[in-house]
């Protein structure tokens, strides 16, 4: 059934061939996952390659965007679609700029320009979202949330919301936009679209916050600028909101998540109502933020026509994406790694780690780098509520290029100075010095930023503790 090589295919094929060759070369040379350099070459050879490949997918593309949770959510969706018998094209390694998406397609496409699957799941970076939407013309757009992230990379939140709004307005009625209605900002930019919209959100009594956390954004009304009132707050500025001044409120939900049960750093369960059905889901990822990811993935895959039994079974065996939450045994110690990349995500990780006792009792190493992919500005550490850690007696270590800033942040959060340890900034040395402080057989937490996570994971992999991610 392979497509004949026609003249119009020649440039496309050239791009695919070049990208695949380079991906192989880079992997052979061991320079990393080889996840975005080939895309750069493919783009240079044929910028329209992505459009042509995605237009050949019989079931179209699902684009997943949002500050937090997009990697986990898109992995869940891809797993469910695969379980349903689809052959999925997915930028699974998390390279979510245009280049990374092109790479993923180049790696999977046949040399004749066949996309190598029947449906695509595309995770996109906030900044790349408009360009990806323009190139891909997705069948379904999933918007998880919009939080303050690394502002030196993405520009201010207002700016992202504006570019997203313009991009969404360009979609026609053949596209469906599935959005988190607990986010007032997403609700604002999904109003009056030509595309169909589906609202999802939580109706949850147990897991609420008393106050909007400091890192919360967009707590003002999009219609009249008054401060919004929340009857329930779930994560950051996500919740049941309404405007006390003009009456605008969270839209009616098409898909509702409720009765969330959180089991520490292990798993969660929740009930999801849609199309008049209620189903209970159990899933091997922890924390309320993953309840949102589960809700989004269920809504997306049910919309794509997957029966709920298949969704439920596929999600039951789901485990988190690399580095998001991982448990590793290293030199007899039980290490739990959780990626931290912005204030909201960090707050949710702290909330999860302290949920059982209200304090952090397990020794914890925080690894902060300031390379491009981490955000070069470490100011965001001051937007995280480390004050939560002032209680408890666990050791808090700091390492990484900006470990000293982290130690200082802990001091000003009111953590007793004898609990704060500064480890070497080099991550391999920092990791070992920290692990030396943990008794054999005991557990510890490691909370790295993105590049720190890559390096720690590589250190662990080199010593046989975990597999490297591109071999998954």
Does residue 377 have an active-site annotation? yes
Nearest to 72 by CA among 323, 246, 397, 257: 323
CB-CB neighbours of 55 under 10 Å: 13
Catalytic residue among 377, 418, 432, 462: 377
Interactions with Zn ion, residue window 226-285 (CB under 5 A):
226, 243, 245-246, 248
Q: Return the one option of Zn ion, other proteins, none that residue 224 interacts with (CB less than 5 to 8 A, by type).
A: Zn ion
Regarding 425 and contact with other proteins (CB under 8 A), the answer is yes
Instruction: Identify the burial level of 192 via C-beta atoms within 10 angstroms of its C-beta, where 0-12 means exposed, 13-18 middle and 19 or more buried.
Output: exposed
Q: Which option in other proteins, Zn ion, none does residue 158 bind, with CB closer than 5 to 8 A by kind? A: other proteins
Find which of other proteins, Zn ion, none residue 377 binds, CB within 5 to 8 Å per kind. other proteins
Between the CA of residue 112 and those of 5, 15, 16, what are the distances in Å?
Answer: 6, 11, 9
Q: Per-residue x/- marks for other proteins, 365-384, CB under 8 A?
A: -----x-----xxxxxxxx-
Q: Does 51 bind Zn ion (CB under 5 A)?
A: no
Count of residues touching other proteins (by CB under 8 A) = 34
Residue 187 CB, nearest approach to other proteins (Å): 17
Backbone dihedral angles phi then psi of residue 23, each to the nearest 5 degrees = -60, -40
Tokens of 25: 């070369």
At 290, list the tokens. Answer: 């993953």
Q: How many residues does the chain have?
A: 472
* Among residues 16, 120, 157, 325, the one that binds other proteins under rule CB under 8 A: 157
Question: Residue 203 burial (CB < 10 Å; 0-12/13-18/19+)?
Answer: middle
Instruction: Rank residues 158 and 266 by Cβ distance to other proteins and give the closer one.
Output: 158
| Among 4-12, 59-67, 280-288, 419-427, the segment contacting other proteins (CB under 8 A) | 419-427
- C-beta pairs of 406-409 under 8 Å, 24+ apart in sequence: 406/366, 406/368, 406/381, 409/381, 409/382, 409/384
Choices 91-99, 131-139, 318-326, 403-411 (CB under 8 A): range interacting with other proteins: 403-411
Residue numbers at the binding site for other proteins (CB under 8 A):
148, 151-152, 156-158, 214, 225, 227, 370, 376-383, 401-405, 407-409, 411-414, 417, 420, 422, 425
Catalytic residues: 377
């Amino acid at each position: 059934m392979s497509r004949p090589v026609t003249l119009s295919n020649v440039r496309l094929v050239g791009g695919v061939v070049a990208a695949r060759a380079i991906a192989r070369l880079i992997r052979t040379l061991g320079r990393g996952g080889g996840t975005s350099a080939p895309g750069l070459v493919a783009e240079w050879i044929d910028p329209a390659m992505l459009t042509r490949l995605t237009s050949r997918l019989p079931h179209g593309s699902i684009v997943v965007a949002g500050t937090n949770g997009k990697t986990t959510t898109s992995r869940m969706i891809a797993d469910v679609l695969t379980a349903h018998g689809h052959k999925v094209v997915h930028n699974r390694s998390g390279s979510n700029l245009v280049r990374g998406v092109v790479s993923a397609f180049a790696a999977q496409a046949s040399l004749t320009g066949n996309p190598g699957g029947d449906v695509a799941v595309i995770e996109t970076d906030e900044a790349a979202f408009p360009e990806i939407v323009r190139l891909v013309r997705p069948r379904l757009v999933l918007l998880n949330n919009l939080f303050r992230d690394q502002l030196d990379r993405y520009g201010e939140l207002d700016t992202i919301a504006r570019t997203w709004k313009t991009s969404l307005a360009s979609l026609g009625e053949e596209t469906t936009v599935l959005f988190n209605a607990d986010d007032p900002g997403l609700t604002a930019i999904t109003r009056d679209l030509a595309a169909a919209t589906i609202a999802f959100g939580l109706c949850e009594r147990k897991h609420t916050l008393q106050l909007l956390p400091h890192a919360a954004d967009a707590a003002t009304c999009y219609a009249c600028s008054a401060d919004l009132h929340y009857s329930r707050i779930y994560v950051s500025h996500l919740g049941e909101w309404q405007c006390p001044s003009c009456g605008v409120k969270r839209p009616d939900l098409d898909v509702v998540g409720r009765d969330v049960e959180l089991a520490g750093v292990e798993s969660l369960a929740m009930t999801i109502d849609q199309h008049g059905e209620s189903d209970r889901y159990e899933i091997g990822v922890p924390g309320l933020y993953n309840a949102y990811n589960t809700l989004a993935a269920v809504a997306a895959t049910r919309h794509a026509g997957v029966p709920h039994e298949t969704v439920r079974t596929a999600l039951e065996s789901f485990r988190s994406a690399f580095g998001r939450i991982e448990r590793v045994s290293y030199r007899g110690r039980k290490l739990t790694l959780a990626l931290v990349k912005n204030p909201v995500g960090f707050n949710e990780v702290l909330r999860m780690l302290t949920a059982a006792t209200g304090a952090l009792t397990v020794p914890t190493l925080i690894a902060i780098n300031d390379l491009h992919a981490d955000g070069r500005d470490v100011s965001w550490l001051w937007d995280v509520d480390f004050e939560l850690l002032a209680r408890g007696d666990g050791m808090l270590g700091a390492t990484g290029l900006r470990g000293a800033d982290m130690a200082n942040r802990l001091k000003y959060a009111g953590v007793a100075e004898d609990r704060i340890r500064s480890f070497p900034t080099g991550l391999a040395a920092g990791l070992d010095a920290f692990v030396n402080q943990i008794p054999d057989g005991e557990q510890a937490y490691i909370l790295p930023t993105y590049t720190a996570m890559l390096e720690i994971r590589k250190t662990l992999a080199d010593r046989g503790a975990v597999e490297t991610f591109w071999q998954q």
